[in-house]
Amino acid sequence: MMELYREILENILKQQKIEVSFPELTIDAAEIINLECYKALSQIKDVIYDDTLEDRECFQKIEEIICILESHGIWGSARHDFI
């Protein structure tokens, strides 16, 4: 029942003009993206350079990298549902 309600509401709202404002935001979109990318790359670098893991643990490194990317809203591949 709620699914139908949501679909109807979405359809009506899609036809409306949207204005979004963030009056207290002090940086622009490019700066936000750059900061998030830097944080994600820094975390990925930490995973890759973790010398405490054996080569056979490469799968875990890749899994951790995918999780980092997803935590930043990046990638989200459906192929990640293998665990």
Give the residue among 63, 55, 69, 68 at the shortest CA–CA distance from 82: 63
- 24 pLDDT tier (thresholds 50, 70, 90): very high
70, with CB counted inside 10 A (0-12, 13-18, 19+), is middle
Which helix (H) or strand (E) segment holds residue 78: the answer is none
CA dist 23 and 61 (Å) reads 40
pLDDT of 79 above 70: no
Mean pLDDT of the chain: 79
Please say if the pLDDT value at position 81 is more than 80.
Answer: no
